[in-house]
Amino acid sequence: MAVNRNGGNRPTGKVGNVVIRELNGQVVTSGLGERTKPFTQGELKNQDRIAVINKLLRPVKEFIKVGFHQITANTTSNYQNYAVKINNPGALKLDGTVVETDYSKAIFSKGNMPAIAHADIKVTDEGIEFSWDPNWKLKGMKDSDRVMLLALCPSKETAYFVLDGNKRSSGKDAVEILHFNEQVILQTYLAFIAADRKSISTSIYTGEILY
C-alpha cells in the first residue's frame, strides 16, 4: 500500500510489484527487488511471532471486529492490525527461539468501560456457562450492558462466541458448544459492550477448561 504523505500528490510505498520511493530528490518507480540474503535472527524471530499471533487471531476475526471497533474508529488503524499490535508481544511467551501463545494475556476487545474483576465458568450439557456478580459496579458500567463471550479451541483452531449476550444484570450467560469426540482444552474470555455499542470493556481471561 502506498501512502500520500505531507498532503502532496506523491504517494510512496509499494503497490503490487511496484515500489515508489524518493531517490536523490526525485520520485522514482521501480520493480520490486528480490531478496537474496538470508533472514537475520531478529527477522526470523519476528516472523515466528507474527505466525503465532495470526494463528491466535484467525478464528476470532468476527469477535475482534466488534471488540476493537471503537478503539480504532476514526484512526488509520483497523481491528486486525490493532489486535496484532496489542497481542504482540503481550500475549506471547518467548523462551529462547520458541514462541508460544500466553492465552492468559491475550486481549480480544479494548475500550473505556471498566472491566469486571472476576467471572466463573462451568461446563454444562449445552456448552460453557459464564457467571459474574451483577451487583459489582464501577462508574461507566450499566445494567443494560451486554455480555460478549468467547471460547477459543486452540487444538481445533476454532472459536465459539456470543457477540450480543445477556444483560449485565442477569449475572450469567452461556456459549453453546457441542462435545467433540475427544476432549479439548478451551480458553475462555469475557467482555461487556454497551447496549448502544458506543463503549466496550477490555476482555478478561476467565480461565481454561477441559471440555
**Residue 156 vs residues 7, 18, 101: alpha-carbon distances, Å:** 47, 38, 15
Position 159 contacts another protein (CB under 8 A): yes
Options 131, 158, 166, 170; binder of another protein; rule CB under 8 A: 158
Between 61 and 137, whose beta carbon lies closer to another protein?
61
Position 59 contacts another protein (CB under 8 A): yes
Position 62 contacts another protein (CB under 8 A): yes
Half-sphere exposure of 181 (CA within 13 A, CB side): 0
Options 10, 18, 85, 180; binder of another protein; rule CB under 8 A: 180
3-class SS letters over 50-94: HHHHHHHHHHHHHHHHHHCHHHHCCCCCCHHHHHHHHHCCCCEEE
Q: Given the rule CB under 8 A, which of 86-94, 116-124, 176-184, 203-211 is the region that contacts another protein?
A: 176-184
Q: What is the identity of the amino acid at 145? A: D
Q: Given the rule CB under 8 A, which of 105-113, 128-136, 160-168, 187-195 is the region that contacts another protein?
A: 160-168
Between 94 and 163, whose beta carbon lies closer to another protein?
163
> Minimum Å distance from CB 160 to another protein?
8
